[in-house]
A and B are shown apart, each in its own frame.
Chain A
Amino acid sequence: MADLHFLANPARFRRFSQRVLPGLGFATALMLAVGFYMAFFVAPQDYQQGDTVRIMFVHVPSAWLSMAGYALLAALGASLLVWRHPLAALMARAAAPVGASFAAVCLLTGSLWGRPMWGTYWVWDARLTSMLLLFFLYLGHIALSRAYDSPERGDRAAAILALIGVINLPIIKFSVDWWNTLHQPASITRLDAPAIHTSILVPLLWMAVSLLLLFVFLVLLRTETEIDRRRLENAEAAA
């Protein structure tokens, strides 16, 4: 017999996402197309870095989104622990790999961006190192949520981790910044966007919004999958 308890909110969510996803997907694709066009053809070259600065249009928004993603994990974790909301657990499971991917993209693009400047694929730049640690925090969350035979136990453990992690993120960032200034000369290696000018700002913000839409699209899509998977697991257990 159907287990009504579980279906309450996740079912409603699923109906909502079914309606929203196609339109959202189309809008996302469109915005990304326009954004990439602007980034590659409209925005000017940087006098110092040339064309490689265009990577920034993916690198910087990826950084923002990966950080926002972890904040989302923390918020979902709080909602799971306080209200035992089944949807919060499933959405967190869906969102963590998306956030981790954005962190990975940020690291990759940062590495590619830096290569022409530094001559190597990695330097221990403060922001890249912080992003690397954030990536590890994501990996921990993903691994922990899947480390238990009972997925509910994994969800709740990961929720606690997300809350502790989000508190520690500013602390980690602060200490890595401090560590970096101590060990490196102040000058060259800052992966910075050049002086912000409208011709740079508009494509940057456009790409930020486009990637945000992509983030939301992916999370909604994966949440649907997680709902279906959990429903299947519950059905198997009851059989």
Chain B
Amino acid sequence: MAPPLLEVTGLACRRGGRMVFDRLSFGLGEGQLLALTGRNGSGKTSLLRALAGLTPPEAGTVAWQGEDIARDRESWRGRLAWLGHLDGLKGDLSVIENLLTAERLRGGEAGDRLDGALLAFDLTALAAREVRTLSAGQRRRTALARIVLSQAPLWLLDEPLNALDAPAQAAFRAALQIHLSAGGLAIAATHAELGIEGRSLELGSTLSSTSPPGGGEEHDGDVA
């Protein structure tokens, strides 16, 4: 079995004076999905932000292909596609303008891939509309289109299914499946079922500095 591309060792995170999680370790390989579950405040967002490098962890390392990401943060950021709680869209710009700008801000150029991203989330008809005129679900779809457009190997998604109706959720699953099949990795914090085979990590169960190695409970197989 191939060694995991992403290796997290002993990660600990502190927020506002308390430890949110401690001694968290896991590995993720090509084509694998990790779902983060747990109650609100259990540290799902904190973990995602620590992996992205937005928040410096209290302890522990994150390694990509064996190398500590702290050594070359800029390259690491280029490998990520980030979807936070907020959509990360400019209301006064159109869907297309948002997608093109987002890609340029990542140092890339959307080019031919734009149409595919719009199609993936049924945004072709809305392409020229300013984002502030869209519904919450449509905005979330636009944000997901941004993720698909990025072609980044690792997707970090915080509640991707938020505000999505059934067809949109199906579109998301399809896009995620394509990404994983192509060898991409994805870590998603979610309350709802993702509906794709992958591992899950539950945060927030027993959080103290005496928690067993792993800091959370890992399950393999279908995300229930």
A237 touches B209 (CB 8 A): no
**B residues 41-83 touching A (CB-CB < 8 Å):** 58
Query: Please, which residue of chain B has its CB at the minimum distance from the CB of A239?
Result: B18
Is B221 in contact with chain A by the CB < 8 A criterion? no
For the complex, give the distance between the alpha carbons of A6 and B16 in Å: 12
A3 touches B17 (CB 8 A): yes
For the complex, give the distance between the alpha carbons of A233 and B18 in Å: 10
State the Cβ distance, A223 to closest chain B Cβ, in Å: 18
State the Cβ distance, A31 to closest chain B Cβ, in Å: 40
B17 touches A233 (CB 8 A): yes
Is B208 in contact with chain A by the CB < 8 A criterion? yes
Query: Please, which residue of chain A has its CB at the minimum distance from the CB of B208?
Result: A1
B18 touches A237 (CB 8 A): yes
B16 touches A150 (CB 8 A): yes
**A residues 204-239 touching B (CB-CB < 8 Å):** 233-234, 237-238
For the complex, give the distance between the alpha carbons of A238 and B20 in Å: 10
**Chain B: interface residue total (CB-CB under 8 A):** 8
**Chain A: interface residue total (CB-CB under 8 A):** 10
Q: Which one of B17, B58, B208 lies within 8 Å of A237 (CB-CB)?
A: B17
Query: Please, which residue of chain A has its CB at the minimum distance from the CB of B12?
Result: A5
B18 touches A234 (CB 8 A): yes
Residues of chain B lying within 8 A (CB to CB) of residue A238:
17-18
Residues of chain B lying within 8 A (CB to CB) of residue A5:
14, 58
State the Cβ distance, B11 to closest chain A Cβ, in Å: 15
**A residues 1-51 touching B (CB-CB < 8 Å):** 1, 3-6
Query: Please, which residue of chain A has its CB at the minimum distance from the CB of B19?
Result: A3
State the Cβ distance, B206 to closest chain A Cβ, in Å: 12
Query: Please, which residue of chain A has its CB at the minimum distance from the CB of B58?
Result: A5
Residues of chain A lying within 8 A (CB to CB) of residue B209:
1, 4
For the complex, give the distance between the alpha carbons of A238 and B208 in Å: 11
Residues of chain B lying within 8 A (CB to CB) of residue A1:
208-209
Query: Told that A5-B14, A238-B18 touch, could you supply 4 new A-B pairs with CB distance under 8 A?
Result: A1-B209, A4-B209, A6-B17, A234-B17
- Nearest 9 A-B pairs (CB), nearest first? A234-B17, A237-B17, A238-B18, A237-B16, A237-B18, A1-B208, A150-B16, A238-B17, A233-B17
A/B interface sample: 18 pairs, CB < 8 A: A1-B208, A1-B209, A3-B17, A3-B18, A3-B19, A4-B209, A5-B14, A5-B58, A6-B17, A150-B16, A233-B17, A234-B17, A234-B18, A237-B16, A237-B17, A237-B18, A238-B17, A238-B18
